[in-house]
Structure 1
Amino acid sequence: MPVSDRQLAEFADKHAWRIPFDTSPRHLAGPGDARQVTHGLAAVGWTRTSDLLSAEIVLRSPDGRHSLQFDPQSATSAWWRLRAEATDTKRGWYAEFGELVPAEILSSVTDALVCPPRTGRPDPWQTLSSAGWLLDAHNSAHSPDAKCHIELRPLGDRDTPSWHIETREQGHGHPVGPRIWHAWFDHHTPSHLVSAFVTALADTTPLQRGMYDRTAHYSAVQEPSPLTTQQVVDAHTTRLDALRTQARAARRRKQPATNKALAPSPTTSASPLRR
């Protein structure tokens, strides 16, 4: 399901009339445009398997193993659900994200899923520390404004803990206030996906939001952006092109290994028949 010219035109039309504002910190920027996520997956061959007339969107990977569900009518606080089915050699895993998780941060996870990094993965704690987050001795970190909290939390008696991220109002007489949004990665989620989320979340670069776009909290800071609306649209198109290129390169890297595994053994195929 490649992104069509019509879909790109609709994205451009929506953003053409908006005055972009630099919005920070990222955890308070609001949901943004969900097509940051869905267009990225469609560009690398994910297809929609849900009812086209339904508000719910389910996208599935070409190999059928991974799926992303977006349900704005969910009865729970999780609007986004990302899953991987178990195979004979790989464990399944699950991650979920609340309504107000910025689409750009969620797309960093889906981008890393379809185009895994070839180099070393950054340590989430070092990333957070470098961005000015406060780390404590209990496998947790807190944003400079004390509204976003990340915790590596034990899961029952399992050896491997799971990642919990929450943005909350500051409490009045309590340690924490009402929750604004959450994200959760189970203990089998690949580490490079968690690293991608944390890196995008801690990035101090503002996100672009329109003048009247919904933010996650009134304390989000918005300033006129130096970017034009056309630059915002062009950045989206450039990202989709880059994802296609990276995905093709990843498939080519896998191809020789696959062909080698399927090739007949020289000893078997070349052996002459003996009488």
Structure 2
Amino acid sequence: MPSRPTVLVVAPADEALRGYCLDQVAAAYDVVLITGSAPTWEHRCIRDVEIADPADETALLAAGQALAARHTLHGVVTWSEWDLVNVARLAEHLGLRTNTPQVIRDCRNKAAQRTLFARQRVPSAKAMTAHTLLEAALAAETIGYPVVLKPAAYAASIGVSRATRAEQLPGAFNFAQAGAAHSRESAAVLVEEYLHGPEISAECVTHQGRTSAVAVTRKTLGPAPYFEEIAHSVDANDPLLEQVGPVAASAVRALGLTDGIQHVEMRLTEAGPRLIEVNARIAGDLIGHLVHLATGINLPAPPPTSPAAPPPTSPEPAVRRPVSACSTPPCPGRSPPATSAKGSRPTHRGCARCTGCARSATPSPCRPPGPCTARASGSSPSPAPAPARSNNAPASSSTSSPSPPPRPHSARTFRKQEPVSTDLDSFGPDDPVLVSPRYLAGPGLEQPPLAAAMVWSSLTNAGWSTHTPDDWRPMLCASPCQLVRAAHMPNATDSGWKTAVYEDALAAPWWTAFWSAETPAELLTDFHRALAEAHAAGSLHSLTSATAVYLPLLNAGWSHTVDERGNQRFTSPDRLATVTGQRRPSHVSDAWSIDVAPGTTGSCRWSARFSKQVPNALVAAFTTSLADTTPVYRRAGTLPKELGSYLVTEPAPALGRSEAAAPAPVPPPAGPGQSTARQR
């Protein structure tokens, strides 16, 4: 019999949930082992062993070197989440092909995953990190309830719960923070958007940068607000595989994974599959065993990844045999883990009854046995590069288990009375133009950090703090008291700008204002300048006469009508913009709303909403800017050609090369003593 390749397994874990993994590896390869204690049940599968704590990098490398001196190693593998980074270092140390430790570290950190997903445009949940309850409240109000709170770098659903209202946030934050305190990588808490829809996972195999989704796992979750998985099912012919497979593969690529097994969790929302997280290991519980029962594929035993030899032929799947499966009882959320005497090996404390064995007919004390039937399937091709699928493998199985803004340019003031035909084709797409009316000019600065720097310049000059991530995640600006918060949410399903004022940092906002993403930056800048002044004067709760809101519109020639309910409507001369004021707004309706070019598409269409308690002085600052006839600076290529007959344009002075990176609006002049925006 020819000798078989030798694979090093690190931290085989318990027999009940991971015994099948070691059995399947041993069926294909010779196995040598590194474990933290003397082996017991593992003896049937191994040829050699070194005792070392996998959490101790120095001890792990020494043990691996000792085994490499006695055996020719072709690969190293672990299915322990806690040891992934150290095992990647070990493989690198032994010269075996592996994912880099930094890639694995990113996979262990859910916040880092969100950043990489956003950078590669992989559909995922909006998310922000928080280290304090106040930061979590700011994040939750920015993202919008309900939200999910979880340790930024942990596993096994420990510390994960949902908050549907502000009153639930402190408990959810404390629960997540207790779990995060045990993490080796980060003590931060992740606050993320709650994704509505069924939760599934894609089980993937990646070899030399090529990823194949080989199975879909459908999940049943326990009672809210926790996310404990209490049942799983796998069907070899699941039609979801073709839909979610490409999304899972794009997520694996975004993280830089090139080899191994991945457990990719997502939710099926109305907008399509959206990522929750990627685990750079085989799935937990008995999902890998289910995949084998349903498809014949042995996920724990992929081809060895040593560059020294080509992968051997994959082993044939085991013949179908009767199995028993047990239903997992609901678990009231996983509590933070206890640790061993060495403090390095987390153990599950809070649902110890959920560890019954589903690999034999012997039930756990809390789980009665139940039959697990399998339907025979016909021949089906095996997805490359995964191991081949048996023709008589069962078809399904289930078990319950920024740069500062550009300098201002001079512009003449004029009023447009009638539409003037302007041929935008006479300008090149990068030609600078001055355009009016400003409400049809589009957003201007399109790079979110530049836009935020301009819009919030008055706030940052007044000492407000900013939180600006490097990528396309929400950007925040908060007053020193943290009771006034502004947010910019680019590239989200509800992208735009939001400002809120609170009477209590952890309560619902007293009032809110929202603008869609295409709102011109000049109008937003004027509103936030007035906001900074009102905050300094302590007048964020004063309600003055509404006359100040609509007087600038009437002076600019806007028409005025009143409906039978007493609601007022002001319409621009070109009839492309309307301002509506509710006579008796409720606490859940908007007192003032603005809609521009609602019947069109593209960069000129936008809207704004102001809730009942927004001071009229602030709304007036916005309508004054809305009615202002001073032209604004744009690049001709950003203007909507379908509205060319409504625009007045004229050539503008060209900007220098460094200022020509983006279509830039005219920023407000800096006041005495003003400085550039600070970032924290």
Unaligned runs of 5+ in 2: 1-401, 410-429, 446-450, 538-543, 676-680
> Are residues 1:209 and 2:626 paired?
no
Equivalent in the alignment of 1:241: 671
- For 2:586 and 2:487, locate their aligned partners in 1 and report how far apart those are by CA, in whole Å: 29
Measured after TM superposition, the shift of residue 154 of structure 1 is 4.9
Does structure 2 retain, via aligned residues, the 8 Å contact 1:56–1:73?
no
- For 1:156 and 1:210, locate their aligned partners in 2 and report how far apart those are by CA, in whole Å: 39
Equivalent in the alignment of 2:403: 7
CA change 1:207–1:216 in 2 (3 A) is farther
> Which whole-Å deviations, capped at 9, do the CAs of 1:115-153 have from their partners, x for residues lacking one?
2398x9862222111100001123110000111011012
3-state SS of 2:499 partner: strand
Does structure 1 retain, via aligned residues, the 8 Å contact 2:432–2:654?
yes
Does structure 1 retain, via aligned residues, the 8 Å contact 2:488–2:497?
yes
Does structure 2 retain, via aligned residues, the 8 Å contact 1:127–1:199?
yes
CA change 1:85–1:26 in 2 (3 A) is same
Partner of residue 223 from structure 1, selected from 649, 665, 670 = 649
CA change 1:109–1:57 in 2 (3 A) is same
3-state SS of 2:562 partner: coil
- The percent identity for this pair of structures is 23
- For 1:24 and 1:86, locate their aligned partners in 2 and report how far apart those are by CA, in whole Å: 39
> Which whole-Å deviations, capped at 9, do the CAs of 1:211-241 have from their partners, x for residues lacking one?
33355963352523455637999x74x7233
Partner of residue 457 from structure 2, selected from 17, 39, 61 = 39
Which range moved further: 141-150 or 160-169? 160-169
Partner of residue 198 from structure 1, selected from 620, 623, 639 = 623
CA change 1:182–1:126 in 2 (3 A) is same
- For 1:158 and 1:67, locate their aligned partners in 2 and report how far apart those are by CA, in whole Å: 20
CA change 1:161–1:67 in 2 (3 A) is closer
Q: Following superposition of structure 1 onto structure 2, how do residues 43-192 of structure 1 map, counting pairs within 5 Å? A: 43-49=461-467, 51-76=469-494, 78-87=495-504, 92-116=510-534, 123-138=548-563, 139-154=568-583, 162-170=591-599, 180-192=605-617
Unaligned runs of 5+ in 1: 1-5, 172-178, 246-275
Does structure 2 retain, via aligned residues, the 8 Å contact 1:44–1:243?
no
Name the aligned partner's letter for residue 67 of structure 1.
Answer: R
Measured after TM superposition, the shift of residue 19 of structure 1 is 4.4
CA change 1:25–1:162 in 2 (3 A) is same
Which range moved further: 104-113 or 124-133? 124-133
Does structure 2 retain, via aligned residues, the 8 Å contact 1:25–1:206?
yes
Partner of residue 440 from structure 2, selected from 24, 28, 33 = 28
How much is the aligned-residue C-alpha RMSD, in angstroms?
Answer: 3.7
Measured after TM superposition, the shift of residue 43 of structure 1 is 2.3
- For 1:227 and 1:113, locate their aligned partners in 2 and report how far apart those are by CA, in whole Å: 31
Does structure 2 retain, via aligned residues, the 8 Å contact 1:109–1:194?
yes
- For 1:97 and 1:127, locate their aligned partners in 2 and report how far apart those are by CA, in whole Å: 20
CA change 1:155–1:137 in 2 (3 A) is closer
Which range moved further: 202-211 or 151-160? 151-160
Tell which has more relative contact order, 1 or 2 (C-alpha 8 A, sep 6+): 1
Does structure 2 retain, via aligned residues, the 8 Å contact 1:100–1:216?
no
Q: Structure 1 length as normaliser, TM-score?
A: 0.68
Which range moved further: 198-207 or 58-67? 58-67
Measured after TM superposition, the shift of residue 26 of structure 1 is 1.5
3-state SS of 2:643 partner: coil
CA change 1:45–1:225 in 2 (3 A) is farther
CA change 1:74–1:141 in 2 (3 A) is same
Name the aligned partner's letter for residue 492 of structure 2.
Answer: S
Measured after TM superposition, the shift of residue 242 of structure 1 is 4.6
Measured after TM superposition, the shift of residue 25 of structure 1 is 1.3
- For 1:222 and 1:68, locate their aligned partners in 2 and report how far apart those are by CA, in whole Å: 32
Does structure 1 retain, via aligned residues, the 8 Å contact 2:590–2:610?
no
- For 1:216 and 1:80, locate their aligned partners in 2 and report how far apart those are by CA, in whole Å: 26
Name the aligned partner's letter for residue 79 of structure 1.
Answer: G
- For 2:503 and 2:640, locate their aligned partners in 1 and report how far apart those are by CA, in whole Å: 36
Does structure 2 retain, via aligned residues, the 8 Å contact 1:208–1:225?
no
Measured after TM superposition, the shift of residue 32 of structure 1 is 0.9
> Which whole-Å deviations, capped at 9, do the CAs of 1:50-109 have from their partners, x for residues lacking one?
544443211111221111111112212x51111111259xx8210000111100001111
CA change 1:111–1:216 in 2 (3 A) is farther
Q: Structure 2 length as normaliser, TM-score?
A: 0.29
CA change 1:215–1:190 in 2 (3 A) is farther
Equivalent in the alignment of 2:118: none
Does structure 2 retain, via aligned residues, the 8 Å contact 1:28–1:216?
no
> Which whole-Å deviations, capped at 9, do the CAs of 1:22-67 have from their partners, x for residues lacking one?
1111211100122420333322222223544443211111221111
Name the aligned partner's letter for residue 635 of structure 2.
Answer: G
Equivalent in the alignment of 2:35: none
Please say which structure displays the higher CA radius of gyration. 2
Greater share of helix residues, 1 or 2? 1
- For 2:483 and 2:673, locate their aligned partners in 1 and report how far apart those are by CA, in whole Å: 19
Does structure 2 retain, via aligned residues, the 8 Å contact 1:180–1:216?
no
